[in-house]
Each structure stands twice: as C-alpha cells, then as structure tokens.
Amino acid sequence: VCVDGKFGEECTTECSRNCLGLGRPCHGETGACTNGCAIGYQGETCNTACPNGTYGHQCGSECSKACKGDPPHCNKVTGKCDQGCSPGYTEEFCTAPCTNTTFGQDCSQECSQHCVDGVCLNTNGSCLLGCMAGFVGDQCFEPKAVGEDGNTTTVIIFVVILIVVLMGVVALLFAFMPVKAVRTSIGAVKKAVRKPDAVSGSCTSGTESSYYTSGEMSSGVKTSGASSGEKGSRSKAKRDSATSRGGVKFSPSTQFQNFGTPGGLGR
C-alpha cells in the first residue's frame, strides 16, 4: 500500500495536485483522487480544468452571461469575469447592469440628453422612451428634418382630401339642380293637363278650358270650347241624319204613312 500522495506499482507516481485532502490522497493503483477534486477541476484524477463557461466544485456552476467571451469566460475557481464584462454590465461577476442613464463598456458612457427622461438601453444607448421634440435616431442625436413628422403630414393630406371632396359635391349640386327643377315643372304641367274636370268631363290646364265629346275622348282629339249655338246645330244635324235613309229625309208623318200599315212599302 502506497503512502498518501503516491500510487503505482512501486508507489513512485504522485497523485494529482488537484486532489482534495491533506497529502492529496489517491487510489494506490489508478491514482483517482480519494476525496474528490479541488474547485475548478473535474475527472477521476482531477487533472481536467473546467471548460469555459463553468467554474466551482466539479465545474457545477456557470459563469455570468455578461462575462466577455463565447462562451462567457470566468475564473475556474471564483467565477469572476477575468476578461471583463460585456457592454452594459459592471462589477467583478458582471451581474450588475448599468443605471438607466449610463451604458456601454463598464457603464462609462452617459445616455443622450435628447432621450426622454434621459433613459437609454444599457448595452448600446438607444433611447428607451423615444426622443425629445426635434430629434431622431436610436440615440436621438440627429436633428429632425422639416416635414419628417408623420402625424403632421397625415393631417395635411386628410384636410386636402376633405376639401377636394366638398368641392366635388358642390359642383355636382350646381350641375344637377337646374335639370331637376325643369323636370319637376314639366311633370306638374302634364298632371294638370291630364286631370279631367269633375263636372263637365273636360280637361283643364289651369289657364285654358277645353272639352271632349264622347267620340273625341276615345280618339284623343281635342276640340276647343264651342258656343251653345254651335252645339245646338250639331245636335240638329245628327237628328236629321238619323231620320234619313239613303239620302232621303223622312218626317215623322211620312214614316207613319209608309211604314205604319202593312204593305206600305209596296206603294
């Protein structure tokens, strides 16, 4: 059996310096550390350092993600970021972000004075709440160009469109109102002409009187108003025509003489 700190056939090989315990005891044949590995090492013989991104006992802890490097690099024993912090973080373990008004490497830069409330992103200085009036850009350093305000442009376009639409409506009203008025007048006149008089049956237009006879009403021929004498002449002519045959005029007495007795036609 080898003494502590030795192993091998003749106990001439030393145990790993990373073995824990007084005298760094290890297995006499294989050299495996009896009490485990020192912090920052792993494996049976404790000769393998923790990979990048890990540290501590049996490499069971992870370095801060804000440590520089890919993967993040830190001390294998303490976990301190031995290469420094990524922009936006500070302190030994790089776990403390910059304040709201600072950013960059080791939080050494101040946010732009044109950021709203002076607040910016801790990594690159972008204004979190936007820019003050008159400035643009991620860090609000650039003066705003004239007409760059999108809201103002939108309002102007809306007002112009509204004015054009109103002008179009007014033009249409002026264009169609006279035609509509004429059509309304013509329709009123037609209704007045076609409306028959309730007493005489004649159609009145409001200013001129006219009448239709029974035959004229059916044929649609209009006759101007006639005097009572003319109406009487027409009636007498119709009666005379009704009592004639083949152009021969018969009186009531002649009708009785010729047709009143049988055989009268033979005479």
Residues 47-84 pLDDT 10s: 999 999 999 999 999 999 999 999 999 999 999 999 99
**Domains of the chain: total:** 3
pTM of the model: 0.47
Q: Is 168 part of a structural domain of the chain?
A: no
Bridge partners (DSSP) of residue 143 are 135
pLDDT recorded at residue 183 = 61
Which has the closest alpha carbon to 86: 94, 76, 74? Answer: 94
Q: Is 121 part of a structural domain of the chain?
A: yes
What H or E segment, with its residue span, contains residue 109? strand 109-110
Q: Is 165 part of a structural domain of the chain?
A: no
Q: Is 235 part of a structural domain of the chain?
A: no
Q: Is 67 part of a structural domain of the chain?
A: no
- The rounded distance, in Å, linking the Cα atoms of 113 and 192 is 84
Which residues of the chain fall short of a pLDDT of 50?
Answer: 198-228, 231, 241-267
Range of the domain at 219: 193-223
Are 16 and 33 spatial neighbours (Cβ–Cβ below 8 Å)? yes
pLDDT recorded at residue 173 = 78
